[in-house]
Structure 1
Amino acid sequence: MPSTPLTSVADLTAAVLRGDYGPDPESLHAVGAFWVRQSTQFPGTDTKYRNYYLVLRVESGFGGCCVERDQLDSVIAEELSGSSVAQLLRDERTPVRIAALDAYLSLTRPHREAEQAQVFMLPHGTPLQRAKARDQAIAGLLDIAPGMRVGLIGVVNPLVDAIRARGGICLPCDFNMQRTADGTEVARDMAPVLAQADLVIATGMTLSNGSFDEILAAVRLRDIPLIVYAQTGSAIVPQFLGHGVAAVSAEPFPFSQFSADPTPIHLYRDAGADARAAA
């Protein structure tokens, strides 16, 4: 493990390349590369979620990165298999680096061996039932007091509902949505949200668009909690617990929307943050 605090994804990547987290990345290879296009629209709504994933397999580890529609060409899945993890961690394309880092850490730091992780099984059910169960678990990771302003970077409507059900005031921010299901305007610029929020909930996709480091720096400067719900980078974000991240809902590949059967998410809390809050 690195001896200095992590302040960015680049710090973590450099530590992995040094061998601080396990085997030399030069000795490991991406044996599989996948490109997934997926959309979701719940009955009775006019919101369609469109997701595009790059997934890499390194031995028994999988790494996933959700990207914007035109961020990568799907042919990338045909090109990356066979590359060493070290080569992928140095790739000029951010989503490739994130998927490779996630795959490496899912191999060397699996959730099943993490002492801080609590397994929560999403129930068998419809996509909406499973999404609501997931988002209730995420909203419950930290206490949301009535009137608390909760910045939501990456809007999922059931999570908006879960925040409001706890009395929180949701401050939504998203590149791809203008309004939430109940008509609340969604900001495109996250700077005002980060400046006003008492607590921030962000999606792992902030890793793929490069905004995670900015969010991390903002919450550390203001000393406010950051919760991350991560399909993208589910093995990456837990490494930042105690370094700006207070809690994580980590959902590794294969993701919950690809199954109706019970599937796990892994809930992490920074024990140090809980102790500081109680002091």
Structure 2
Amino acid sequence: MIESPASVAELTAWARAGRLGPEPGTLRASTAFLTTYGTRHPGRHRHYRNEVLSVRVGAAVGSCGLEPHTGTADLIDHCVDATVAELLEHPVAAVRVAALDAYLMQVRPHPHAGGRAGRQVVIDGPTSLTKSRRRASTVVDLLPAEVSRVLVVGVVGSLLAELRARAIAYLPCDLAGGVTEWGEPVYEAVEQAPTDYDALLVTGMSLGNETFDEFRSVATRRRLPLVAFAQTGSAVLPWFLGAGVHAVSAEPYPFFSLDGGPSTVVTYRELS
């Protein structure tokens, strides 16, 4: 049986200790880069702007979403030629997550992240909106069939549209607040939302803002399924399957929205 860590900090400690693979002090980040992009799909009313930090270690690229306007040249300079061990102790959480993602991508690459067996799903389509909808359908397919109301952490229009199409109610939650495309208020904190949900759908960016363990704790305590959709930490989150995480949609860099051709996501499910 594969052991699951008790927290992101514990998984990071395992990596630092060389418990999961090569001694991280012997590996260096050859490249670090920022990806900044905006998206507004035809027919949609909401504009998204995203910043992502990526770190390359050997053949592996790890990524972590950033809060707006936090990606700087200094951040990149701190990463380049640093050892993985150094990056895993960096004061900025996004750097630690990107480095951990790259390290785990190298030692347990998809479709076997965390030692689990994943399923590769090709996401294709003639437009950005088509690909977004198909990615959303893949993610929502990971929810158990009996789910009726979902706490959605990280508002993505196509995910909400897919839930609406399946008559699954949702509570949108995002640090950015505001309203959804359908005029629904977005809760800025989970504590503000009603508690009558029976599943959680959580963005991998919760790793970068250090809230993931809180959501996993809620899911574990209430015995609710938690499904993660992960561009951030795609190789990290499968390690928590069976330990508060029901399923993961893992999407390593480059993400579906950055490529006009076919993209591949890997889905992982908790073994029953």
Q: TM range, normalised to the smaller chain?
A: over 0.9
Deviates more, 1:92-101 or 1:177-186: 177-186
Structure 2 match to 1:142: 143
Residues 202 and 228, structure 1, Cα contact 8 Å, conserved in 2: yes
1:79-228 matches, within 5 Å, as: 79-113=78-112, 115-145=116-146, 148-193=148-193, 195-228=195-228
Deviations along 1:65-88, one digit per CA (max 9) or x if unpaired, are: 111113342432233110000000
Change beyond 3 A, Cα 1:227–1:171: same
**How big is the shift at 1:213?**
1.0
Are residues 48 and 136 of structure 1, via their aligned partners in 2, closer, same or farther at CA, if it must alter by over 3 Å?
Answer: same
Hey, what's the Cα distance between the residues in 1 that align with 2:96 and 2:194? 26
1:117/1:268 contact within 8 Å kept: yes
Q: Distance in 2 between matches of 1:149 and 1:160?
A: 12
On the 8 A contact 1:135/1:162 being kept in 2, the answer is yes
Spell out the pairing of 1:263-274 with structure 2 (5 A cutoff).
263-272=263-272
* Structure 2 gap ranges (5+): none
Distance 1:90 1:2, change over 3 A: farther
Provide the rounded CA distance (Å) in 1 between the counterparts of 2:134 and 2:177. 22
Are 1:259 and 2:272 matched, yes or no? Answer: no
Superposed displacement of residue 192, structure 1: 4.4
Alpha-carbon distance in 1 for matches of 2:187, 2:135: 24
Aligned pair count reads 270
Q: CA deviation at 1:2?
A: 8.0
Could you tell me whether the CA contact under 8 Å between 2:24 and 2:84 is conserved in 1? yes
**In structure 1, what is the equivalent of residue 64 of structure 2?**
65
- Per-residue CA deviations over 1:21-40 (Å, capped at 9, x if unaligned) read 11111111100000111110
Letter matched to residue 110 of structure 2: H
Q: 1:88 to 1:50 in 2, by over 3 A?
A: same
Please give the alpha-carbon distance, in whole angstroms, between the structure 1 residues aligned to 2:100 and 2:176.
26
CA contact (8 A) 2:52 2:64 kept: yes
**Closer, same or farther: CA 180–44 of 1 in aligned 2, 3 Å:** same
Tell me the distance in 1 between the aligned counterparts of 2:209 and 2:232: 11
Contact 1:145 1:168 in 2 (8 A): no
Matches within 5 A, 1:224-263: 224-263=224-263
Q: Offset at 1:19?
A: 1.5
Q: RMSD of the TM alignment (CA)?
A: 1.7
Do the aligned partners of 2:227 and 2:248 also contact (CA within 8 Å) in 1? yes
In structure 2, the residue corresponding to 1:196 is in which secondary structure?
Answer: coil
Closer/same/farther in 2, CA of residues 71 and 167 from structure 1, 3 Å limit: same
Residues 96, 2 of structure 1: alpha-carbon distance in 2 compared, 3 angstrom cutoff: farther
**Cα 1:7/1:193, change in 2 over 3 Å:** farther
- Name whichever of 238-247 and 76-85 sits farther off: 76-85
More deviation in 243-252 or 113-122? 113-122
Asked whether the equivalents of residues 145 and 167 of structure 1 are also in contact (C-alpha less than 8 Å), the reply is: no
Relative to structure 1, the CA distance from residue 52 to residue 36 in structure 2 (aligned partners, 3 Å threshold; closer, same or farther) is same
Distance 2:18 2:11 in 1: 11
Distance 2:193 2:109 in 1: 33
Q: Distance in 2 between matches of 1:269 and 1:28?
A: 30
> Which AA in structure 2 matches 1:27?
T
The answer to whether the 8 Å contact 1:228/1:245 transfers is yes
Q: Tell me the residue number matched to 1:47.
A: 46
Does the 8 A contact of 1:230 with 1:237 survive in 2? yes
Q: What is the CA distance between 1:186 and its match in structure 2?
A: 0.9
TM-score (structure 1 length as normaliser): 0.92
Q: Give the partner amino acid of 1:131.
A: S
Structure 1 unaligned regions, length at least 5:
273-279
